[in-house]
Amino acid sequence: MTDLVLLHGGNHGSWCWGPFIEVLNQQPGCFERVITLDMPGCGTKRGRDVVSLRLDDVVEELNEDLRALGVNQAVLLGHSIAGALLPMMVLAAPQLYSQLVYLACALPSEGQSILQLLGTRLHGESPDHVGWPLDPAQTTPQALAVAMFGQDLSEQTLGWLLSEASQDTTPLCVATDAISRVGYPGIIAASYIITLRDNILPVDWQRRFAQRADAEVVVEIDTAHELFVSHPQLLADVVWGLERHG
């Protein structure tokens, strides 16, 4: 058995995987350990000064967290903007990983940043940018968070998620630094899970990201972006299937 390593997306921390891990724990034996990472400033690392960090610093810290735990040849699953980090983590420490799973991940073009990829307009208004579900310049952060994260969640669950998310400070460099995947294609087996009712990353963009991820297996499921909270059992079934396939 191998370890499963989980890396959250923006405005999230390791806390977000709680419902998913509960389901995984109900069927032990698939993974040796389930390990949750936190970007600096998020989850168990809240309160850190992350202003001066660069993308390479974040990559090195995450890999060092895994080295400290004795991780070797793990399955690494990342969500959303973690897609910018996953290839860089593998390139920096290939011995740590055996398989990548991209969960509704954004992957900028070579030399592009996440913010450049997103742009400033609405979904569908620019062929070169992912866009936003609401105009970020005319929308409060709270309303934008509800639009992005609130699908399929009860009022109580959404309240919990937004309360936790408000306490996390994702390093700005994850969104603003240009990424590089030079040397990545073919280095590791990769899969991509597309969420068909995603209010953050439109499906046509996710399919493009799956190609950039060099994904050998692409799975499409009928959920929104936060499926580890809204549909944890479905996600567990898909991940177990990918592990068996891998």
| pLDDT value of position 244 | 72
Angle of CA points 38, 73, 214, to nearest 5° = 80
| pLDDT value of position 75 | 97
Distance CA 44, CA 39 (A): 9
Query: Is 193:101 a contact under the CB 8 Å cutoff?
Result: yes
| pLDDT value of position 128 | 96
Token pair belonging to 119:
């742009």
| pLDDT value of position 29 | 78
| pLDDT value of position 149 | 95
Query: Is 158:146 a contact under the CB 8 Å cutoff?
Result: yes
| pLDDT value of position 49 | 94
Give Cβ neighbours of residue 157 (< 8 Å, ≥ 6 apart): 229
DSSP characters for 17-85?
Answer: GHHHHHHHHTSTTSEEEEEEE--TTSGGGTT---TT--HHHHHHHHHHHHHHTT--SEEEEEEGGGGGT
| pLDDT value of position 181 | 95
Please write the tens of the pLDDT for every residue from 98-157: 999 999 999 999 999 999 999 999 999 999 999 999 999 999 999 999 999 999 999 999
Question: Which regions of the chain are under pLDDT 50?
Answer: none
Q: End-to-end alpha-carbon separation of the chain, Å?
A: 12
Distance CA 146, CA 150 (A): 5
Place of tokens 């963009």: 205
Place of tokens 């860089």: 88
| pLDDT value of position 59 | 98
| pLDDT value of position 245 | 62
Domains and CATH numbers, the chain: 2-245 (3.40.50.1820)
| pLDDT value of position 246 | 57
How many Cα atoms occupy the beta-carbon half-sphere of 237 within 13 Å? 8
Token pair belonging to 11:
């405005």
